Amino acid sequence: MRVHQARRLTGVALAAAALAITACGGEDNSDFIDASKKVTADISAIGQDIGETVTTAGEQTDAALQTSFSELADRAGESVTALDDLDAPEDDIQTTIDSLSTALKKGQTDLDNIATAAGASNADEARAATEALVADSPAISENNTKLKEQIAELEKEE
């Protein structure tokens, strides 16, 4: 009788252990993947919108440019917050997220500086801030692309 009871308890213990291992090891990364895809798409859209704003800058008033660049800076800030809220399942992905967040914060500052210069109708400051944005943009683009690639790899593993 005791042997039978011990076997039953062992079986229950093994089933519980298997369930625990499945819950931990087979963690679903779909929420992370979805959130990451959204933020990388948002960052790409900001880059496209910056290009359009710069292309049409000669047709806009300083006040309109101030508003446009201020809105772009706000969107960049929202993306920084979204990046900082991500909890990557792997250290190398978290490193990319951190690098992208740092680069995007610099871009946000550059966009704010362009908006401020446009509002003050200060062409020299606007030029300097635009040059800073151009210098800071490759780090944003490269890290955003790298994160997209890492997400795609993670998605394949799902």
The pLDDT value recorded for residue 28 is 78
pLDDT band per the 50, 70, 90 thresholds, residue 87:
very high
Residue 23 lies in a domain: no
Mean pLDDT for 48-67 is 94
How far apart (Å, rounded) are the C-alpha atoms in residues 99 and 110? 17
pTM for the model stands at 0.81
The pLDDT value recorded for residue 85 is 96
Residue 11 lies in a domain: no
Q: Measure the N-to-C terminal CA separation of the chain; round to a whole number of Å.
A: 45
Please count the structural domains in the chain.
1
The region of weakest confidence among 13-27, 118-132, 137-151 is 13-27
Range of the domain at 148: 29-157
Residue 125 lies in a domain: yes
How far apart (Å, rounded) are the C-alpha atoms in residues 116 and 122? 9
Residue 1 lies in a domain: no
81 versus 18: the higher-pLDDT residue is: 81
Residue 152 lies in a domain: yes
Instruction: Please give the share of the chain, as a percent, with pLDDT higher than 70.
Output: 83
Over residues 6-55, the pLDDT tens digits come to 444 444 444 433 333 333 344 579 999 999 999 999 999 999 999 999 99
SS (HEC) of the chain? CHHHHHHHHHHHHHHHHHHHHHHHHCCCCHHHHHHHHHHHHHHHHHHHHHHHHHHCHHHCCHHHHHHHHHHHHHHHHHHHHHHHHCCCCCHHHHHHHHHHHHHHHHHHHHHHHHHHHHHCCCHHHHHHHHHHHHHHHHHHHHHHHHHHHHHHHHHHHC
The pLDDT value recorded for residue 158 is 76
Q: Both tokens of residue 65?
A: 């440019």
Residue 80 lies in a domain: yes
How far apart (Å, rounded) are the C-alpha atoms in residues 52 and 58? 11
93 versus 27: the higher-pLDDT residue is: 93
Residue 3 lies in a domain: no
The pLDDT value recorded for residue 11 is 44
Residue 63 lies in a domain: yes
Check if the beta carbon of residue 40 is closer than 8 Å to that of residue 148.
yes
The pLDDT value recorded for residue 10 is 42
CATH code for the domain of 80: 1.20.1420.10
Give the Cα-Cα-Cα angle 109, 110, 116 (nearest 5 degrees).
Answer: 90
Over residues 106-123, the pLDDT tens digits come to 999 999 999 999 999 999
